[in-house]
Each structure stands twice: as C-alpha cells, then as structure tokens.
Copies of this chain bind each other. A is one copy, B any other.
Amino acid sequence: MLRQFKDGRISEDKLLHFLKDLPYQDLEFAKVDHHRILRQGFSEVIFGRGKTIKQILAIAGSLLERHENLLITSAPETVFPEIQKLCSEAQHFPASQLISVQRDKIIKGYGRIAVISAGTTDIPVAEEAAVTAQFMGNEVVTSYDCGVAGIHRLLDLRKVILDCSVIVAVAGMEGALPSVVGGLAECPVIAVPTSVGYGAAFKGVTALLSMLNSCSPNVTVVNIDNGFGAGFVASLINRSQPGRER
C-alpha cells in the first residue's frame, strides 16, 4: 500500500482513510481486519456462509475501497449483481459459489499447484480450491473424475503429479484418492473430503476419516467441502516462505 502510494497509484486521501482503520475497522457486526491483510499478504476473503446479503455487501464495500482483490466464498446467488455494481471486473463461479475480484494478477507462487478430484460430483469443491489458488497468484492445473476405481486414469496423471509443488486431492465416498496420489507424489498433498455420497458416507465423514488415516505420510486434511481452505494452504506452501533464502 505504501509502495502503491509512493508509486502514485493511490492518493494520500485513500492512504489516510486506510490508516484510520488500523488495526481493524469495526462495522458493529464485523471487525474487518485490514491490518492482517496487509501484514500477511493474504488475499482479501469474505466467508459468505451465514452472513446476510447486507452484511456481505458492507464488508465487500469496505474491502474494495482499500484492497485490490476480493474473494467471497459461499456467496448467495443474489449477491453477484450487487458486487458487479461495486466493481465491474467481478467474476462469478456459480458451481462453487465463489465471487472474485482480481485486479492484481501477479503470480506469486514458485511452482504449480495441481487440483485432482475423484468424481464428477466432486467438481464444485475442486473448483473452489482451484479458483482460490489461482486468485492467490498461482499457476493451477486441474484434472477431474480420476477416482481410484479406474486406476489407469490416475496413473496417466503421474507426470503432472511429480511436476508440481503441492497437490489438492478432492474426494467423497470412501475418500481413497489422497492415499494413492500421496504414494505417487513427492510433495505435500492436501486432502479435501466432500459431502458426496449417500448412506454410510455420512455427508463426508467417511471420506474425512479415511483421509485422516491415510497410509501416505505426506497427506494433511481440511474440513469437509473446504475447497477454499485447501486452495489457501496450497498457496501458502507454494509462496516464498519467510526466512527462506532465495
């Protein structure tokens, strides 16, 4: 931000307005943490789930005034036209319920991130991970419907798997994909259980438990359907780390 000010990209007014709200801005129902955004270089995210449309718009307005980019997860259908009014570059991903504004598109990650999903029905969650990672400045490759029951489809991905920095493996039902991918990969694998399945799939619990017990030791797990979280951590891993000499 300070650099942007120095470069003349933002006005003194905007900077002052911004500094006023440090460390965070209190909207009564929410405390928007502009400081953390700056400090951590994280992208700006609103978790839409459970917020009213009014609340989402108020926070979005506050963020768009001060930051380049914005991601809204679990965005209700009717929010998108309103966001478009605030910012015409906004993009909508209906399957994964994401809205993104990405005015700063600089690639910040070193390697590539692969997002692999087991079934056709897992695609919305996989897309959430892929869009998030892309939004956070990474090159992303995706491959869907690679479930372990047709192992040759997965083996065909071997080159992709060996060639990337992090893998996000998305699966419902028995959640076996991350174990097999983990065995093929040399990098960290972030497993995302999905609520896909029926009966004893227990809305993703079976896949979650399966992934937590993966016999591949390079697998860590996020919450059920948490494509955003997986994309986010994958980005962190792929970004330059503090203290890392380059």
**0 or 1 for each of A182-222: is its CB under 8 Å from B? (1 = yes):** 11101110100101111111111111111111111111111
Please tell me which stretch of A8-16, A36-44, A98-106 contacts chain B, meaning at least 4 of its Cβ atoms lie within 8 angstroms of it.
A36-44
Which residue of chain B lies nearest to A74 when distances are taken between CB atoms in the complex?
B198
User: Contact residues of A with B, CB < 8 Å?
Assistant: 23-24, 28-31, 33, 36, 39-42, 45, 49-51, 55, 110-112, 118-121, 123, 144-153, 155, 162-166, 173-176, 179-180, 182-184, 186-188, 190, 193, 195-226, 228-230, 232-233, 236-238, 241-246
CB distance from A174 to the nearest CB of B (A): 4
Query: In the complex, are the beta carbons of B215 and A29 less than 8 A apart?
Result: no
Residues of B within 8 A of A243 (CB): 110-112, 163-165
Is A180 touching B215 in the complex (CB atoms < 8 A)? no
Q: Once the chains are docked, how many angstroms separate the CA of A51 from the CA of B212?
A: 21
Q: How far is the CA of A206 from the CA of B215 in the complex (A)?
A: 13
Task: Please measure, in the bound complex, the distance between the C-alpha atom of A206 and the C-alpha atom of B49, giving whole angstroms.
Answer: 18
Give Cα distance in the complex from A148 to B244, angstroms. 28
* Minimum distance in angstroms from A211 CB to a CB of chain B: 7
List chain B residues, Cβ under 8 A from A165: 241-244
Contact of A209 among B55, B146, B188, B206 (CB under 8 A): B206
Shortest Cβ distance from A144 into B: residue: B29
Return A127 CB to nearest CB of chain B, in Å: 10
Known: A149-B215, A165-B242, A186-B242. 17 other contacts (CB 8 A): A31-B153, A50-B196, A110-B244, A110-B246, A148-B180, A149-B182, A175-B210, A176-B210, A199-B224, A217-B229, A217-B233, A218-B236, A219-B233, A220-B220, A221-B221, A221-B222, A237-B237
State which of B162, B175, B183, B246 has its C-beta within 8 Å of the C-beta of A149.
Answer: B183
- Do residues A174 and B211 form an inter-chain contact, with CB atoms below 8 A? yes
With both beta carbons as reference points, the residue of chain B lying nearest to A182 in the complex is identified as B149
Give min CB distance, A240 to chain B, whole Å: 9
Across the two chains, which residue of chain B brings its CB closest to A49?
Answer: B198
Q: A244–B246 Cα gap in the complex (Å)?
A: 11
Q: Can you list 30 contacts pairing A with B, beta carbon distance less than 8 Å?
A: A30-B145, A33-B150, A50-B119, A51-B120, A111-B243, A112-B243, A149-B179, A149-B214, A149-B216, A150-B183, A151-B151, A164-B242, A165-B241, A165-B244, A166-B241, A174-B179, A174-B210, A174-B213, A175-B213, A186-B236, A199-B204, A199-B226, A200-B213, A206-B209, A209-B210, A212-B223, A218-B236, A220-B221, A220-B230, A246-B246
